[in-house]
Structure 1
Amino acid sequence: MKITTVGIDLAKNVFQVHGIDEHGKAVLKKQLRRDQMAAFFVNLSPCLIGMEACGSAHHWGRELQSMGHTVRLMAPQFVKPYVKTNKNDAADAEAICEAVGRPNMRFVPVKNVEQQAVLALHRVRQGFVRARTAQANQIRGLLGEFGLIVPQGIGHIAKRVPELIEDGANELPGAFRLLIQRLLDHLKELDRQVEELEDKIHAWHRSSDLSRKLAMVPGIGPITASALVASIGDAKNFDGGRQVAAWLGLVPRQHSSGGKSNLLGMSKRGDTYLRTLLIHGARSVIYRVSQRADACSWISSVVNRRNKNVAAVALANKNARIVWALLAHDRQFDAGYVRSTAVA
């Protein structure tokens, strides 16, 4: 019995393993505890191992690769169609084993430790930013119940709210003033946490040649560049720039049939965080271009033909393609680059 392909259904403590031989016959159906995983696979002859790209998948991918196995990670939505019966661990492991052997399956590259560490900084910063926004909205809402309206924008909270709680002319009770002050202190602490994490991300950005290269593209700053480098990894895993844009959900959805193409809105697939950073960066570029009276660039023509939202997505799509070209071909960004055409 020689196992050629293995599917692993990952979990916290109990892992389901399904293996087949070269003829596709199931020869292994086994449950393993976490402390049994390494001992089992180190004694297994090198084979193809498939897993869903979920929690701890990159860790186990690195561990199994170090044992000589070939590891392939897949998005869960690509594995779901291969589940034959009701959902359970054994059926999921069998579906993973079936999906990893498909010739047209799309795989997720296994991230290294440094990439995961940088992305962890981004995720924690993103959580603090959301908490900071929620805290500011709570302060604004509580003051609104007493008829005190704070303008929109998180910057107005730090300027206006201290004046309101110090003003003796309003009807705020003393206990409520102390409560708002406590919320303000919490807001300042969240802001401090965000700044510290941004400093760490900027420090990593300055130490990375690839990240500094991407930051030269208009609309891409240190935050976006570092997140792209850590997420994409080896750009040669993508066939082209359009595949990167599609991976980020920056291409139109399709509902085509009978040879008639019907393009809809943005697909919004892939990493929401990266897509948001690229679109916000594109909005800043559009704003700067609109401030110049003599603007005659490509993006200004798109804004004139369509609206700013469509233009922002178009520029984000273009930047995603540029990012792939810079990383895959080891080039430097050239704002005046013109593609050379072959002469017959």
Structure 2
Amino acid sequence: MSHYVGLDVSLKETSVCVIDGSGHAVWRGTCRSEPDAMAATIRKRAPEAERVVLESGILSTWHWHGLKELGIPIVCVDARQAKAALSGRPNKSDELDAEGLAQLARTGWYAEVRVKSLDSHKIRSALVARAKLVGLKQTLSNTIRALLKTFGLFTKRSNGKGFAETVRSHISDEPLLGKGIEALLSSWERISTEIKILNNLLTGVARRDPLCRQILMTAPGVGAMTALAFKTVIDDPGRFQRGEEVSAYLGLAPKRHQSGEVDRMGRISKCGDALLRSYLFEAATVAMSRIRRENSPAAWAKMLCKRVGAAKARVALARKLAVILFSMWRTNKPFRWSTPHPVPTA
């Protein structure tokens, strides 16, 4: 007899529900929220488990990989869709949620979430840490500048040593003001050092990776951080059939509202990975404004800029870059730069 298992995971305990092929509950209970304990419970209570379902969440990566290694037929489903499917129930509890997930496993009415590799998650963690530190550094520098402006003291537009030197020259004769700003400035310097360490680490990872160095980083505006972010978010290009699917997955495709005679396109959905989306936007900005070498994507974006404005043109170029990077990855070929047009001579 086939069994279907639903796992409603919490931090300490996981509610487990086992149902048979007809949808009747065979066993309900709890176990520790650890892959070994969960696998032991499944083997004992559902020896013929055909499908085990858990929702996507902060612990799903650990649980999915752990259960997969132990031979459990685990499936990770989209938490938003699971919530919508179970929202019709009048009552909510961990036990009922586990039963609902088991029913989804039996019927197959779910959207499976592909869990990325652990190596991708490790690189992703370093990228997220760097992004958070960059944000904290900017917040601290803005706070220092705002505090100094209160007293008519202004700093240069610099984020390096010149900024710290200027700030210290302003507060050298102000013991009370200087104490507070020096604490902020020390934190700013410490964070700047940590950012440099992460920059060197991630740049080294990108340069040692053949895909990033030889393929992705050859595209205009794409550097080490953008290449690593794209690789870790996509993880496996085989799960996409077309480049348009990648742009939609990253939230760079416009939303559509169609009902009856109404059919309009809106702004981009922003449903995908926000960090990669911001890196692609930065790459588009660099390709349009800093790269002098002739290339067709930037030339197309500059022409579009005259018609729709710079902001929309950069978003459009970011979407195009996502499609180009995906195509380069699948074909394993670097970016093809435009051939310079010969200058006519008299």
Which band: TM-score by shorter chain?
Answer: 0.7 to 0.9
AA partner of residue 176 (structure 1): L
Stretch moving more, 44-53 or 235-244 = 44-53
AA partner of residue 90 (structure 1): E
Q: CA deviation at 1:223?
A: 0.3
| Deviation digits for residues 144-170 of structure 1 (CA, Å, limit 9, x no counterpart) | 22232336664573353122123x5xx
Alignment partners' CA distance in 1, 2:95 and 2:76? 18
| Matching of residue 50 in structure 1 with residue 49 in structure 2 | no
Q: CA deviation at 1:100?
A: 4.9
Alignment partners' CA distance in 1, 2:293 and 2:207? 30
Alignment correspondent of 1:238: 240
- Checking the alignment, whether the CA contact within 8 Å between 1:282 and 1:312 is kept in structure 2 is yes
Query: 92, 99, 112: which is aligned to 2:97?
Result: 92
| Matching of residue 34 in structure 1 with residue 37 in structure 2 | no
AA partner of residue 192 (structure 1): T
Alignment partners' CA distance in 2, 1:209 and 1:302? 33
Alignment partners' CA distance in 1, 2:331 and 2:75? 25
Match of 1:8, SS? strand
Alignment correspondent of 2:342: none
Stretch moving more, 33-42 or 227-236 = 33-42
| Deviation digits for residues 101-159 of structure 1 (CA, Å, limit 9, x no counterpart) | 66674332222221111111011112211211121122122212223233666457335
Q: CA deviation at 1:30?
A: 2.1
Q: CA deviation at 1:11?
A: 1.5
Alignment partners' CA distance in 2, 1:52 and 1:18? 14
Change in CA separation of 1:325 and 1:22 when aligned onto 2, cut-off 3 Å: farther
- Checking the alignment, whether the CA contact within 8 Å between 1:82 and 1:96 is kept in structure 2 is no
| Matching of residue 157 in structure 1 with residue 163 in structure 2 | yes
Alignment partners' CA distance in 1, 2:81 and 2:269? 16
Q: How does 1:219-234 map to 2 (within 5 A)?
A: 219-234=221-236
Q: CA deviation at 1:244?
A: 1.3
Stretch moving more, 93-102 or 19-28 = 93-102
Alignment partners' CA distance in 2, 1:193 and 1:296? 33
Identity fraction in percent: 27
- Checking the alignment, whether the CA contact within 8 Å between 1:64 and 1:71 is kept in structure 2 is yes
Q: CA deviation at 1:23?
A: 2.9
- Checking the alignment, whether the CA contact within 8 Å between 1:248 and 1:271 is kept in structure 2 is yes
Change in CA separation of 1:275 and 1:160 when aligned onto 2, cut-off 3 Å: same
- Checking the alignment, whether the CA contact within 8 Å between 1:7 and 1:97 is kept in structure 2 is yes
Q: How does 1:1-344 map to 2 (within 5 A)?
A: 1-3=1-3, 5-34=4-33, 36-43=37-44, 44-83=47-86, 84-100=89-105, 105-150=110-155, 154-155=159-160, 157-166=163-172, 168=173, 173-212=174-213, 213-258=215-260, 260-288=262-290, 297-336=299-338
Alignment partners' CA distance in 2, 1:243 and 1:266? 14
- Checking the alignment, whether the CA contact within 8 Å between 2:288 and 2:302 is kept in structure 1 is yes
Q: Which residues of structure 1 form unaligned runs of 5+?
A: 338-344
Alignment partners' CA distance in 1, 2:253 and 2:157? 32
Alignment partners' CA distance in 2, 1:65 and 1:30? 21
| Deviation digits for residues 54-100 of structure 1 (CA, Å, limit 9, x no counterpart) | 11211111111122233322332121111123443223323433445
Match of 1:220, SS? coil
Change in CA separation of 1:87 and 1:334 when aligned onto 2, cut-off 3 Å: farther
AA partner of residue 40 (structure 1): T
Match of 1:6, SS? strand
Match of 2:218, SS? coil
Q: CA deviation at 1:192?
A: 0.6
- Checking the alignment, whether the CA contact within 8 Å between 1:139 and 1:183 is kept in structure 2 is yes
AA partner of residue 182 (structure 2): Q
Change in CA separation of 1:153 and 1:251 when aligned onto 2, cut-off 3 Å: farther
Change in CA separation of 1:330 and 1:296 when aligned onto 2, cut-off 3 Å: closer
- Checking the alignment, whether the CA contact within 8 Å between 1:252 and 1:263 is kept in structure 2 is yes
Change in CA separation of 1:327 and 1:88 when aligned onto 2, cut-off 3 Å: farther
Change in CA separation of 1:180 and 1:271 when aligned onto 2, cut-off 3 Å: same
Alignment partners' CA distance in 1, 2:216 and 2:62? 27
AA partner of residue 39 (structure 2): A
AA partner of residue 177 (structure 1): G
TM-score by length of 2: 0.86
Q: CA deviation at 1:186?
A: 1.2
